[in-house]
Structure 1
Amino acid sequence: MKLGVIGLGSMGMGAALNLVKHGHDVHGCELREAARAELTSAGGHAVGRAADLPAGLDALIILVVNAAQANDVLFGPDGCAAKLPKGAVVLCCTTMAPEAARALDARLADAGLLMLDAPVSGGAVGARAGSMTVMASGPEAAFAKVQPVLDAIAGKVWRLGDAAGVGSTVKMVNQLLAGVHIATAAEAMALGIRAGADPQALFDVISTSAGSSWMWQNRVPHILAGDDTPLSAVNIFVKDLGIVLDQARALTFPLPMASAAHQLFLAAAAAGQGGKDDVFVIRVWQALAGIALPGEDKPEI
Protein backbone atom coordinates (compact mmCIF):
# COMPACT_ATOMS: atom_id res chain seq x y z
CA MET A 1 0.00 0.00 0.00
CA LYS A 2 1.02 3.60 -0.53
CA LEU A 3 0.90 5.11 2.95
CA GLY A 4 1.52 8.39 4.71
CA VAL A 5 2.60 8.74 8.33
CA ILE A 6 2.42 12.20 9.85
CA GLY A 7 4.41 12.58 13.06
CA LEU A 8 7.63 10.56 13.31
CA GLY A 9 7.96 10.78 17.06
CA SER A 10 8.37 7.91 19.52
CA MET A 11 5.20 6.20 18.32
CA GLY A 12 5.00 7.37 14.73
CA MET A 13 8.55 6.36 13.88
CA GLY A 14 7.97 2.84 15.15
CA ALA A 15 4.78 2.56 13.10
CA ALA A 16 6.48 3.89 9.96
CA LEU A 17 9.47 1.56 10.25
CA ASN A 18 7.24 -1.47 10.69
CA LEU A 19 5.20 -0.49 7.66
CA VAL A 20 8.42 -0.32 5.64
CA LYS A 21 9.43 -3.76 6.93
CA HIS A 22 6.09 -5.15 5.73
CA GLY A 23 6.79 -3.95 2.21
CA HIS A 24 4.61 -0.85 2.07
CA ASP A 25 5.51 2.34 0.24
CA VAL A 26 5.82 4.66 3.24
CA HIS A 27 5.98 8.45 3.11
CA GLY A 28 6.61 10.14 6.44
CA CYS A 29 6.08 13.76 7.42
CA GLU A 30 8.08 15.30 10.25
CA LEU A 31 9.66 18.67 11.01
CA ARG A 32 12.81 17.16 12.53
CA GLU A 33 15.48 16.42 9.95
CA ALA A 34 17.02 13.60 12.01
CA ALA A 35 13.74 11.70 12.06
CA ARG A 36 13.28 12.13 8.32
CA ALA A 37 16.80 10.80 7.78
CA GLU A 38 16.09 7.75 9.95
CA LEU A 39 13.04 6.82 7.91
CA THR A 40 14.72 7.33 4.55
CA SER A 41 17.73 5.26 5.65
CA ALA A 42 15.30 2.43 6.42
CA GLY A 43 13.79 2.53 2.94
CA GLY A 44 10.96 5.01 3.38
CA HIS A 45 10.49 8.55 2.13
CA ALA A 46 10.10 11.73 4.16
CA VAL A 47 9.01 15.33 3.79
CA GLY A 48 8.81 18.27 6.15
CA ARG A 49 5.25 19.40 5.38
CA ALA A 50 2.02 17.46 5.05
CA ALA A 51 1.30 19.36 1.84
CA ASP A 52 4.39 17.76 0.31
CA LEU A 53 3.17 14.21 0.78
CA PRO A 54 2.49 12.54 -2.58
CA ALA A 55 -0.97 12.26 -4.08
CA GLY A 56 -2.72 8.92 -4.28
CA LEU A 57 -2.15 7.63 -0.76
CA ASP A 58 -4.30 4.64 0.17
CA ALA A 59 -4.22 5.58 3.83
CA LEU A 60 -2.81 8.23 6.13
CA ILE A 61 -1.74 7.56 9.72
CA ILE A 62 -1.71 10.61 11.99
CA LEU A 63 0.36 10.48 15.17
CA VAL A 64 0.67 14.12 16.24
CA VAL A 65 0.28 15.67 19.68
CA ASN A 66 -3.30 16.90 19.76
CA ALA A 67 -6.55 17.53 17.90
CA ALA A 68 -5.46 21.00 16.74
CA GLN A 69 -2.38 19.55 15.07
CA ALA A 70 -4.41 16.73 13.50
CA ASN A 71 -6.81 19.24 11.96
CA ASP A 72 -3.93 21.43 10.82
CA VAL A 73 -2.01 18.69 8.98
CA LEU A 74 -5.22 17.77 7.18
CA PHE A 75 -6.99 21.07 6.57
CA GLY A 76 -4.51 23.83 7.45
CA PRO A 77 -2.54 25.95 4.96
CA ASP A 78 0.01 23.14 4.59
CA GLY A 79 -2.53 20.35 4.98
CA CYS A 80 -2.85 17.29 2.79
CA ALA A 81 -6.54 16.33 2.85
CA ALA A 82 -7.13 17.80 -0.61
CA LYS A 83 -4.48 15.45 -2.06
CA LEU A 84 -6.07 12.28 -0.69
CA PRO A 85 -8.23 10.33 -3.16
CA LYS A 86 -11.88 9.71 -2.40
CA GLY A 87 -12.28 6.64 -0.21
CA ALA A 88 -8.80 6.89 1.33
CA VAL A 89 -8.66 6.08 5.04
CA VAL A 90 -7.33 8.41 7.72
CA LEU A 91 -6.24 6.53 10.83
CA CYS A 92 -6.28 9.20 13.50
CA CYS A 93 -4.10 7.76 16.26
CA THR A 94 -3.80 11.05 18.13
CA THR A 95 -5.17 11.21 21.66
CA MET A 96 -8.03 13.69 21.63
CA ALA A 97 -11.40 14.32 23.22
CA PRO A 98 -14.26 12.15 21.88
CA GLU A 99 -16.12 15.19 20.57
CA ALA A 100 -12.99 16.30 18.70
CA ALA A 101 -12.78 12.88 17.06
CA ARG A 102 -16.42 13.08 15.99
CA ALA A 103 -15.92 16.56 14.55
CA LEU A 104 -12.87 15.45 12.58
CA ASP A 105 -14.74 12.42 11.28
CA ALA A 106 -17.56 14.64 10.00
CA ARG A 107 -15.11 16.94 8.26
CA LEU A 108 -13.32 14.03 6.59
CA ALA A 109 -16.63 12.50 5.52
CA ASP A 110 -17.56 15.78 3.81
CA ALA A 111 -14.28 15.43 1.87
CA GLY A 112 -15.16 11.88 0.78
CA LEU A 113 -12.66 10.26 3.15
CA LEU A 114 -13.03 7.47 5.69
CA MET A 115 -11.76 7.74 9.25
CA LEU A 116 -10.82 5.32 11.97
CA ASP A 117 -10.77 6.91 15.40
CA ALA A 118 -7.78 4.77 16.38
CA PRO A 119 -5.70 5.95 19.34
CA VAL A 120 -2.85 3.66 20.32
CA SER A 121 -1.03 2.47 23.42
CA GLY A 122 2.21 0.62 23.99
CA GLY A 123 4.82 3.36 24.07
CA ALA A 124 7.95 3.67 21.99
CA VAL A 125 8.94 0.07 22.69
CA GLY A 126 5.59 -1.29 21.53
CA ALA A 127 5.64 0.93 18.46
CA ARG A 128 9.11 -0.28 17.44
CA ALA A 129 8.08 -3.89 18.04
CA GLY A 130 4.90 -3.54 15.97
CA SER A 131 2.89 -4.59 19.01
CA MET A 132 0.85 -1.50 19.84
CA THR A 133 -2.70 -1.81 21.10
CA VAL A 134 -5.12 0.01 18.80
CA MET A 135 -8.47 1.16 20.20
CA ALA A 136 -10.43 1.78 17.03
CA SER A 137 -13.92 2.73 15.99
CA GLY A 138 -15.19 3.51 12.52
CA PRO A 139 -16.91 2.01 9.48
CA GLU A 140 -16.25 -1.57 8.45
CA ALA A 141 -15.07 -0.39 5.05
CA ALA A 142 -12.25 1.54 6.71
CA PHE A 143 -11.22 -1.44 8.84
CA ALA A 144 -11.18 -3.69 5.78
CA LYS A 145 -9.10 -1.33 3.67
CA VAL A 146 -6.38 -0.78 6.28
CA GLN A 147 -6.14 -4.30 7.67
CA PRO A 148 -2.59 -4.65 6.25
CA VAL A 149 -1.64 -1.47 8.10
CA LEU A 150 -3.05 -2.74 11.37
CA ASP A 151 -1.29 -6.08 10.87
CA ALA A 152 2.03 -4.25 10.59
CA ILE A 153 1.78 -1.90 13.56
CA ALA A 154 -0.40 -3.63 16.14
CA GLY A 155 -0.32 -6.64 18.40
CA LYS A 156 -3.98 -6.17 19.31
CA VAL A 157 -6.73 -4.26 17.53
CA TRP A 158 -9.92 -3.59 19.44
CA ARG A 159 -12.92 -2.95 17.18
CA LEU A 160 -15.12 -0.76 19.33
CA GLY A 161 -17.97 0.14 16.99
CA ASP A 162 -18.72 1.94 13.77
CA ALA A 163 -18.78 5.53 15.06
CA ALA A 164 -15.92 7.92 15.74
CA GLY A 165 -15.52 8.95 19.37
CA VAL A 166 -15.67 5.49 20.91
CA GLY A 167 -11.99 4.78 20.36
CA SER A 168 -11.09 8.14 21.88
CA THR A 169 -13.35 7.48 24.87
CA VAL A 170 -11.56 4.22 25.64
CA LYS A 171 -8.14 5.86 25.18
CA MET A 172 -9.23 8.62 27.54
CA VAL A 173 -9.89 6.06 30.27
CA ASN A 174 -6.55 4.41 29.53
CA GLN A 175 -4.78 7.75 29.94
CA LEU A 176 -6.53 8.39 33.24
CA LEU A 177 -5.09 5.14 34.56
CA ALA A 178 -1.68 5.64 32.95
CA GLY A 179 -1.26 9.14 34.35
CA VAL A 180 -2.34 8.17 37.85
CA HIS A 181 -0.11 5.08 37.80
CA ILE A 182 2.95 7.08 36.69
CA ALA A 183 2.39 9.75 39.33
CA THR A 184 1.83 7.11 42.01
CA ALA A 185 4.94 5.18 40.98
CA ALA A 186 6.98 8.39 41.24
CA GLU A 187 5.43 9.21 44.61
CA ALA A 188 6.20 5.73 45.96
CA MET A 189 9.79 5.80 44.74
CA ALA A 190 10.29 9.28 46.22
CA LEU A 191 8.94 8.13 49.59
CA GLY A 192 11.23 5.11 49.59
CA ILE A 193 14.28 7.24 48.79
CA ARG A 194 13.35 9.79 51.47
CA ALA A 195 12.99 6.97 54.01
CA GLY A 196 16.41 5.58 53.16
CA ALA A 197 15.57 2.56 51.00
CA ASP A 198 18.01 1.54 48.30
CA PRO A 199 16.27 2.59 45.06
CA GLN A 200 17.28 -0.49 43.05
CA ALA A 201 16.32 -2.89 45.83
CA LEU A 202 13.01 -1.07 46.26
CA PHE A 203 12.27 -1.41 42.56
CA ASP A 204 13.19 -5.10 42.52
CA VAL A 205 11.03 -5.97 45.52
CA ILE A 206 7.95 -4.03 44.41
CA SER A 207 8.25 -5.45 40.88
CA THR A 208 7.60 -8.94 42.32
CA SER A 209 4.95 -7.81 44.80
CA ALA A 210 1.27 -6.91 44.75
CA GLY A 211 2.00 -3.19 44.56
CA SER A 212 3.61 -3.46 41.14
CA SER A 213 2.07 -2.13 37.94
CA TRP A 214 3.00 -1.99 34.25
CA MET A 215 3.94 1.66 34.67
CA TRP A 216 6.08 0.89 37.73
CA GLN A 217 8.05 -1.72 35.83
CA ASN A 218 8.25 0.33 32.63
CA ARG A 219 9.00 3.80 34.00
CA VAL A 220 10.91 3.46 37.27
CA PRO A 221 13.99 2.07 35.46
CA HIS A 222 14.29 5.51 33.84
CA ILE A 223 14.68 7.01 37.32
CA LEU A 224 17.21 4.36 38.33
CA ALA A 225 19.24 5.07 35.19
CA GLY A 226 19.04 8.83 35.72
CA ASP A 227 17.76 9.10 32.16
CA ASP A 228 15.05 11.73 31.66
CA THR A 229 15.11 11.47 27.85
CA PRO A 230 11.42 11.77 26.94
CA LEU A 231 9.95 8.57 25.54
CA SER A 232 6.68 10.07 26.72
CA ALA A 233 6.94 13.55 28.18
CA VAL A 234 5.44 15.19 31.26
CA ASN A 235 3.59 17.57 28.92
CA ILE A 236 1.75 14.66 27.33
CA PHE A 237 -0.01 13.98 30.63
CA VAL A 238 -0.65 17.66 31.22
CA LYS A 239 -2.62 17.45 27.97
CA ASP A 240 -4.16 13.99 28.29
CA LEU A 241 -5.30 14.30 31.89
CA GLY A 242 -6.65 17.72 30.92
CA ILE A 243 -8.82 15.97 28.31
CA VAL A 244 -9.97 13.48 30.95
CA LEU A 245 -10.91 16.23 33.40
CA ASP A 246 -12.67 18.33 30.76
CA GLN A 247 -14.79 15.34 29.80
CA ALA A 248 -15.55 14.59 33.44
CA ARG A 249 -16.70 18.17 34.04
CA ALA A 250 -19.01 17.92 31.05
CA LEU A 251 -20.48 14.76 32.59
CA THR A 252 -20.61 16.22 36.12
CA PHE A 253 -18.37 13.36 37.20
CA PRO A 254 -15.82 13.67 40.03
CA LEU A 255 -12.27 12.44 39.39
CA PRO A 256 -10.22 13.17 42.53
CA MET A 257 -7.32 10.82 41.67
CA ALA A 258 -6.95 12.13 38.12
CA SER A 259 -7.19 15.71 39.39
CA ALA A 260 -4.37 15.16 41.88
CA ALA A 261 -2.17 13.51 39.24
CA HIS A 262 -2.86 16.35 36.79
CA GLN A 263 -1.74 18.91 39.38
CA LEU A 264 1.52 17.01 39.88
CA PHE A 265 2.26 16.95 36.15
CA LEU A 266 1.37 20.65 35.97
CA ALA A 267 3.77 21.34 38.85
CA ALA A 268 6.56 19.49 37.07
CA ALA A 269 5.86 21.40 33.85
CA ALA A 270 5.76 24.73 35.70
CA ALA A 271 9.20 23.91 37.13
CA GLY A 272 10.63 23.47 33.64
CA GLN A 273 10.35 19.69 33.43
CA GLY A 274 7.57 19.51 30.82
CA GLY A 275 9.84 18.15 28.12
CA LYS A 276 11.37 15.46 30.33
CA ASP A 277 10.32 11.81 30.55
CA ASP A 278 6.94 11.60 32.27
CA VAL A 279 8.14 9.63 35.32
CA PHE A 280 10.37 12.60 36.16
CA VAL A 281 7.27 14.09 37.68
CA ILE A 282 9.23 12.67 40.66
CA ARG A 283 11.17 15.93 40.61
CA VAL A 284 8.17 17.59 42.29
CA TRP A 285 8.86 15.46 45.38
CA GLN A 286 12.60 15.89 44.86
CA ALA A 287 12.18 19.66 45.15
CA LEU A 288 9.81 19.43 48.10
CA ALA A 289 11.83 16.95 50.15
CA GLY A 290 15.36 17.66 48.95
CA ILE A 291 16.02 14.07 47.99
CA ALA A 292 18.74 13.06 45.54
CA LEU A 293 17.68 10.79 42.70
CA PRO A 294 19.98 8.01 41.47
CA GLY A 295 22.91 9.61 39.66
CA GLU A 296 22.13 13.09 41.01
CA ASP A 297 23.87 14.74 43.98
CA LYS A 298 21.30 17.44 44.57
CA PRO A 299 17.70 18.32 43.65
CA GLU A 300 17.15 19.11 39.98
CA ILE A 301 14.48 21.73 40.67
Structure 2
Amino acid sequence: MAILVTGGAGYIGSHTVIELLKADYDVVIVDDFSNSKPTVIDRIEELAGKRPDFHEVNITNKDALKEVFEAHELEAVIHFAGYKAVGESVAQPLKYYHNNLQGTIVLMELMNEFNVKKIVFSSSATVYGMNNKAPFTEDMPLSTTNPYGTTKMFIEQFIQDQYVADETWSAALLRYFNPIGAHESGRIGEDPNDIPNNLMPYITQVAVGKRDALSVFGSDYDTPDGTGVRDYIHVVDLAKGHIKALEKVLETTGLEAYNLGTGVGYSVLDVVTAFEKANGVEIPYELVNRRPGDIGTSFADVSKAKNTLGWEATFSIEDMCRDSWNWQKSNPNGYEA
Protein backbone atom coordinates (compact mmCIF):
# COMPACT_ATOMS: atom_id res chain seq x y z
CA MET A 1 0.00 0.00 0.00
CA ALA A 2 1.34 3.40 -0.99
CA ILE A 3 0.79 7.02 -0.05
CA LEU A 4 -0.13 9.33 -2.93
CA VAL A 5 1.50 12.75 -2.55
CA THR A 6 0.08 15.40 -4.88
CA GLY A 7 2.53 18.25 -5.44
CA GLY A 8 5.27 16.06 -3.99
CA ALA A 9 8.06 17.78 -5.92
CA GLY A 10 7.28 21.16 -4.37
CA TYR A 11 8.97 22.84 -1.41
CA ILE A 12 6.96 21.30 1.43
CA GLY A 13 6.00 18.21 -0.55
CA SER A 14 9.59 17.18 -1.28
CA HIS A 15 10.64 17.48 2.36
CA THR A 16 7.59 15.44 3.37
CA VAL A 17 8.35 12.74 0.81
CA ILE A 18 11.84 12.34 2.30
CA GLU A 19 10.33 11.88 5.78
CA LEU A 20 7.81 9.36 4.39
CA LEU A 21 10.54 7.34 2.70
CA LYS A 22 12.68 7.44 5.87
CA ALA A 23 9.65 6.03 7.74
CA ASP A 24 9.44 3.16 5.19
CA TYR A 25 6.26 4.26 3.43
CA ASP A 26 5.91 3.52 -0.28
CA VAL A 27 5.37 6.87 -2.01
CA VAL A 28 3.76 7.83 -5.31
CA ILE A 29 4.19 11.47 -6.39
CA VAL A 30 2.06 13.35 -8.89
CA ASP A 31 3.26 16.81 -9.89
CA ASP A 32 3.13 18.91 -13.06
CA PHE A 33 6.28 20.96 -12.28
CA SER A 34 4.34 24.23 -12.45
CA ASN A 35 6.13 25.34 -9.28
CA SER A 36 8.88 22.74 -9.00
CA LYS A 37 11.67 21.12 -11.02
CA PRO A 38 12.33 17.54 -12.24
CA THR A 39 15.73 17.64 -10.49
CA VAL A 40 13.88 17.41 -7.16
CA ILE A 41 13.01 13.75 -7.77
CA ASP A 42 16.69 12.88 -8.23
CA ARG A 43 17.62 14.73 -5.05
CA ILE A 44 14.89 13.01 -3.06
CA GLU A 45 16.37 9.69 -4.16
CA GLU A 46 19.87 10.90 -3.24
CA LEU A 47 18.79 11.91 0.27
CA ALA A 48 16.34 9.09 1.06
CA GLY A 49 18.24 6.23 -0.56
CA LYS A 50 15.24 5.18 -2.65
CA ARG A 51 13.27 6.69 -5.47
CA PRO A 52 9.55 7.42 -5.18
CA ASP A 53 7.28 6.44 -8.05
CA PHE A 54 6.57 9.57 -10.07
CA HIS A 55 3.89 10.63 -12.56
CA GLU A 56 3.89 14.00 -14.30
CA VAL A 57 0.21 14.87 -14.02
CA ASN A 58 -1.90 17.96 -13.32
CA ILE A 59 -4.63 16.79 -10.98
CA THR A 60 -7.35 18.55 -12.99
CA ASN A 61 -6.72 15.91 -15.69
CA LYS A 62 -9.04 13.18 -14.48
CA ASP A 63 -8.09 10.56 -17.09
CA ALA A 64 -4.38 10.92 -16.34
CA LEU A 65 -4.91 10.92 -12.58
CA LYS A 66 -7.17 7.87 -12.84
CA GLU A 67 -4.30 5.97 -14.47
CA VAL A 68 -2.22 6.67 -11.35
CA PHE A 69 -4.96 5.25 -9.12
CA GLU A 70 -5.21 2.20 -11.40
CA ALA A 71 -1.45 1.63 -11.41
CA HIS A 72 -0.94 1.66 -7.63
CA GLU A 73 -2.62 0.23 -4.57
CA LEU A 74 -3.10 3.44 -2.59
CA GLU A 75 -3.83 3.71 1.12
CA ALA A 76 -4.04 7.48 1.67
CA VAL A 77 -3.41 10.86 0.05
CA ILE A 78 -1.35 13.82 1.20
CA HIS A 79 -2.66 16.72 -0.87
CA PHE A 80 -0.24 19.60 -1.53
CA ALA A 81 -0.92 20.32 -5.20
CA GLY A 82 -2.17 23.83 -5.91
CA TYR A 83 -1.17 27.27 -7.07
CA LYS A 84 0.05 29.30 -4.11
CA ALA A 85 1.03 32.91 -4.94
CA VAL A 86 -1.28 35.33 -3.12
CA GLY A 87 -0.64 38.27 -5.47
CA GLU A 88 -1.18 36.19 -8.59
CA SER A 89 -4.41 34.83 -7.11
CA VAL A 90 -5.73 38.39 -6.75
CA ALA A 91 -4.81 39.18 -10.35
CA GLN A 92 -6.01 35.83 -11.78
CA PRO A 93 -8.68 34.45 -9.44
CA LEU A 94 -10.30 32.14 -11.99
CA LYS A 95 -6.96 30.43 -12.66
CA TYR A 96 -6.73 29.65 -8.93
CA TYR A 97 -10.34 28.54 -8.55
CA HIS A 98 -10.09 26.26 -11.58
CA ASN A 99 -6.80 24.61 -10.66
CA ASN A 100 -7.06 24.36 -6.89
CA LEU A 101 -10.78 23.66 -6.53
CA GLN A 102 -11.44 21.61 -9.66
CA GLY A 103 -8.24 19.64 -9.08
CA THR A 104 -9.36 18.74 -5.57
CA ILE A 105 -12.83 17.72 -6.75
CA VAL A 106 -11.26 15.41 -9.36
CA LEU A 107 -8.92 13.97 -6.73
CA MET A 108 -11.71 13.33 -4.23
CA GLU A 109 -13.98 11.78 -6.87
CA LEU A 110 -11.22 9.27 -7.67
CA MET A 111 -10.59 8.67 -3.97
CA ASN A 112 -14.25 7.67 -3.64
CA GLU A 113 -14.14 5.55 -6.79
CA PHE A 114 -11.06 3.63 -5.61
CA ASN A 115 -12.07 3.54 -1.92
CA VAL A 116 -9.07 5.61 -0.77
CA LYS A 117 -10.82 7.65 1.90
CA LYS A 118 -7.94 8.96 3.99
CA ILE A 119 -6.46 12.42 3.34
CA VAL A 120 -4.02 14.87 4.89
CA PHE A 121 -4.69 18.30 3.39
CA SER A 122 -2.18 21.12 3.08
CA SER A 123 -4.21 24.08 4.34
CA SER A 124 -2.99 27.45 5.63
CA ALA A 125 -3.26 29.92 8.47
CA THR A 126 -4.69 32.33 5.87
CA VAL A 127 -8.08 30.76 6.64
CA TYR A 128 -8.14 32.69 9.95
CA GLY A 129 -8.62 35.93 8.00
CA MET A 130 -8.33 39.47 9.35
CA ASN A 131 -10.65 39.46 12.35
CA ASN A 132 -9.32 36.82 14.75
CA LYS A 133 -6.81 37.71 17.44
CA ALA A 134 -3.58 35.70 17.83
CA PRO A 135 -2.84 33.11 19.02
CA PHE A 136 -5.14 31.38 16.55
CA THR A 137 -7.02 28.26 17.66
CA GLU A 138 -8.58 25.67 15.37
CA ASP A 139 -12.13 26.46 16.51
CA MET A 140 -12.04 30.13 15.43
CA PRO A 141 -14.39 31.32 12.64
CA LEU A 142 -12.78 31.24 9.20
CA SER A 143 -12.56 33.95 6.55
CA THR A 144 -10.06 34.97 3.88
CA THR A 145 -8.64 38.06 2.22
CA ASN A 146 -7.56 36.72 -1.19
CA PRO A 147 -8.52 34.01 -3.71
CA TYR A 148 -5.60 31.75 -2.74
CA GLY A 149 -6.82 31.70 0.86
CA THR A 150 -10.38 31.21 -0.31
CA THR A 151 -9.37 28.05 -2.19
CA LYS A 152 -7.87 26.66 1.03
CA MET A 153 -11.03 27.47 2.99
CA PHE A 154 -13.29 25.98 0.29
CA ILE A 155 -11.24 22.77 0.11
CA GLU A 156 -11.49 22.38 3.88
CA GLN A 157 -15.26 22.69 3.39
CA PHE A 158 -15.23 20.12 0.54
CA ILE A 159 -13.52 17.62 2.82
CA GLN A 160 -15.81 18.38 5.76
CA ASP A 161 -18.91 17.96 3.59
CA GLN A 162 -17.58 14.68 2.17
CA TYR A 163 -17.05 13.38 5.71
CA VAL A 164 -20.61 14.35 6.67
CA ALA A 165 -21.83 12.42 3.62
CA ASP A 166 -19.60 9.41 4.30
CA GLU A 167 -18.23 8.93 7.81
CA THR A 168 -15.80 6.24 6.67
CA TRP A 169 -13.57 9.10 5.51
CA SER A 170 -10.66 10.21 7.69
CA ALA A 171 -9.03 13.61 7.27
CA ALA A 172 -6.52 15.96 8.83
CA LEU A 173 -6.61 19.63 7.79
CA LEU A 174 -3.15 21.04 8.49
CA ARG A 175 -3.10 24.83 8.84
CA TYR A 176 0.49 25.87 8.26
CA PHE A 177 1.89 29.11 9.51
CA ASN A 178 5.10 30.33 7.76
CA PRO A 179 7.38 27.53 6.53
CA ILE A 180 11.06 28.45 6.09
CA GLY A 181 14.36 26.58 6.23
CA ALA A 182 15.56 23.68 4.11
CA HIS A 183 16.94 20.16 4.42
CA GLU A 184 20.19 20.24 6.39
CA SER A 185 22.08 18.82 3.40
CA GLY A 186 21.36 21.93 1.35
CA ARG A 187 20.21 19.69 -1.51
CA ILE A 188 16.52 20.62 -1.46
CA GLY A 189 14.87 23.88 -0.48
CA GLU A 190 12.54 26.64 -1.57
CA ASP A 191 13.03 27.72 -5.20
CA PRO A 192 10.28 30.24 -6.04
CA ASN A 193 9.39 31.26 -9.56
CA ASP A 194 10.18 34.94 -10.29
CA ILE A 195 10.20 37.43 -7.38
CA PRO A 196 9.68 35.63 -4.05
CA ASN A 197 6.33 36.14 -2.35
CA ASN A 198 7.62 35.02 1.04
CA LEU A 199 10.11 36.59 3.42
CA MET A 200 12.90 34.02 3.71
CA PRO A 201 13.60 33.35 0.01
CA TYR A 202 13.64 37.13 -0.47
CA ILE A 203 16.22 37.45 2.33
CA THR A 204 18.38 34.66 0.93
CA GLN A 205 18.26 36.11 -2.59
CA VAL A 206 19.47 39.43 -1.18
CA ALA A 207 22.19 37.57 0.74
CA VAL A 208 23.38 35.75 -2.38
CA GLY A 209 23.39 38.98 -4.44
CA LYS A 210 20.42 38.31 -6.70
CA ARG A 211 18.49 41.27 -5.22
CA ASP A 212 19.75 44.58 -3.89
CA ALA A 213 17.66 44.94 -0.74
CA LEU A 214 14.77 43.40 1.17
CA SER A 215 11.47 45.28 0.96
CA VAL A 216 9.80 45.26 4.38
CA PHE A 217 6.06 45.75 3.79
CA GLY A 218 4.70 47.88 6.61
CA SER A 219 6.50 49.46 9.57
CA ASP A 220 3.47 50.91 11.38
CA TYR A 221 1.74 47.77 12.69
CA ASP A 222 0.86 47.50 16.38
CA THR A 223 3.88 45.28 17.06
CA PRO A 224 7.08 45.80 19.08
CA ASP A 225 9.06 47.20 16.12
CA GLY A 226 6.18 48.10 13.78
CA THR A 227 6.83 45.27 11.31
CA GLY A 228 4.55 42.27 10.81
CA VAL A 229 4.82 39.38 13.27
CA ARG A 230 4.55 35.80 12.02
CA ASP A 231 4.98 32.26 13.30
CA TYR A 232 7.89 30.76 11.33
CA ILE A 233 8.30 26.98 11.26
CA HIS A 234 11.15 24.89 9.87
CA VAL A 235 10.00 22.93 6.83
CA VAL A 236 11.45 19.70 8.26
CA ASP A 237 9.39 20.15 11.44
CA LEU A 238 6.39 20.75 9.17
CA ALA A 239 7.14 17.60 7.17
CA LYS A 240 7.32 15.55 10.36
CA GLY A 241 3.93 16.99 11.32
CA HIS A 242 2.51 15.40 8.17
CA ILE A 243 3.84 12.01 9.21
CA LYS A 244 2.14 12.33 12.60
CA ALA A 245 -1.11 13.46 10.95
CA LEU A 246 -0.92 10.58 8.47
CA GLU A 247 -0.47 8.07 11.30
CA LYS A 248 -3.59 9.48 12.97
CA VAL A 249 -5.63 9.41 9.75
CA LEU A 250 -4.61 5.84 8.95
CA GLU A 251 -5.74 4.49 12.32
CA THR A 252 -9.02 6.41 12.74
CA THR A 253 -12.00 7.86 10.96
CA GLY A 254 -13.15 11.44 11.48
CA LEU A 255 -12.01 14.92 10.61
CA GLU A 256 -9.79 17.32 12.56
CA ALA A 257 -7.96 20.58 11.86
CA TYR A 258 -4.51 21.19 13.34
CA ASN A 259 -2.29 24.25 13.50
CA LEU A 260 1.33 23.56 12.60
CA GLY A 261 3.60 26.30 13.88
CA THR A 262 5.93 27.03 16.79
CA GLY A 263 3.48 29.14 18.78
CA VAL A 264 6.03 32.00 18.80
CA GLY A 265 5.79 35.18 16.74
CA TYR A 266 8.83 36.90 15.22
CA SER A 267 8.74 40.26 13.45
CA VAL A 268 10.27 40.76 10.02
CA LEU A 269 13.17 42.64 11.60
CA ASP A 270 13.61 39.87 14.19
CA VAL A 271 14.09 37.42 11.32
CA VAL A 272 16.55 39.74 9.55
CA THR A 273 18.58 40.07 12.76
CA ALA A 274 18.50 36.30 13.38
CA PHE A 275 19.64 35.63 9.80
CA GLU A 276 22.53 38.08 10.09
CA LYS A 277 23.57 36.59 13.43
CA ALA A 278 23.31 32.95 12.32
CA ASN A 279 25.16 33.43 9.03
CA GLY A 280 27.38 36.50 9.38
CA VAL A 281 25.75 38.07 6.32
CA GLU A 282 24.36 41.62 6.27
CA ILE A 283 20.86 42.09 4.82
CA PRO A 284 20.13 45.64 3.60
CA TYR A 285 16.44 46.47 3.75
CA GLU A 286 14.01 49.28 3.02
CA LEU A 287 10.70 50.02 4.73
CA VAL A 288 7.83 50.33 2.26
CA ASN A 289 4.03 50.51 2.47
CA ARG A 290 1.89 47.68 3.75
CA ARG A 291 0.50 45.16 1.30
CA PRO A 292 -3.31 45.00 1.07
CA GLY A 293 -4.72 42.12 3.08
CA ASP A 294 -1.71 41.66 5.38
CA ILE A 295 -2.43 41.48 9.11
CA GLY A 296 -0.13 42.75 11.84
CA THR A 297 0.25 39.65 13.99
CA SER A 298 -0.22 35.96 13.26
CA PHE A 299 0.91 33.05 15.40
CA ALA A 300 -0.51 29.69 16.37
CA ASP A 301 -1.87 28.01 19.42
CA VAL A 302 -0.17 24.65 18.83
CA SER A 303 -1.51 22.75 21.84
CA LYS A 304 -3.93 20.59 19.83
CA ALA A 305 -1.21 19.15 17.57
CA LYS A 306 0.99 18.51 20.60
CA ASN A 307 -1.73 16.85 22.67
CA THR A 308 -3.49 14.92 19.89
CA LEU A 309 -0.73 14.09 17.40
CA GLY A 310 2.24 14.05 19.75
CA TRP A 311 3.99 16.59 17.52
CA GLU A 312 5.78 19.85 18.25
CA ALA A 313 8.36 21.97 16.47
CA THR A 314 12.00 21.51 17.50
CA PHE A 315 14.06 23.88 15.32
CA SER A 316 14.94 27.41 16.49
CA ILE A 317 14.69 30.55 14.38
CA GLU A 318 18.51 30.47 14.09
CA ASP A 319 18.32 26.89 12.78
CA MET A 320 15.76 27.99 10.20
CA CYS A 321 17.96 30.88 9.07
CA ARG A 322 21.10 28.74 8.92
CA ASP A 323 19.46 26.02 6.80
CA SER A 324 17.80 28.56 4.50
CA TRP A 325 21.17 30.17 3.78
CA ASN A 326 22.92 26.81 3.38
CA TRP A 327 20.40 25.90 0.65
CA GLN A 328 20.65 29.26 -1.15
CA LYS A 329 24.45 29.61 -1.11
CA SER A 330 24.80 25.98 -2.28
CA ASN A 331 22.20 26.57 -5.03
CA PRO A 332 22.43 30.28 -5.95
CA ASN A 333 20.09 29.73 -8.90
CA GLY A 334 17.86 27.23 -7.17
CA TYR A 335 17.53 23.94 -9.03
CA GLU A 336 18.82 25.46 -12.25
CA ALA A 337 22.40 24.41 -12.98
- Normalised by the size of structure 1, how large is the TM-score? 0.45
More helix by share: 1
Larger radius of gyration: 1
- Normalised by the size of structure 2, how large is the TM-score? 0.41
Question: Higher relative contact order at CA 8 Å, sep ≥6: structure 1 or structure 2?
Answer: 2
More strand by share: 2
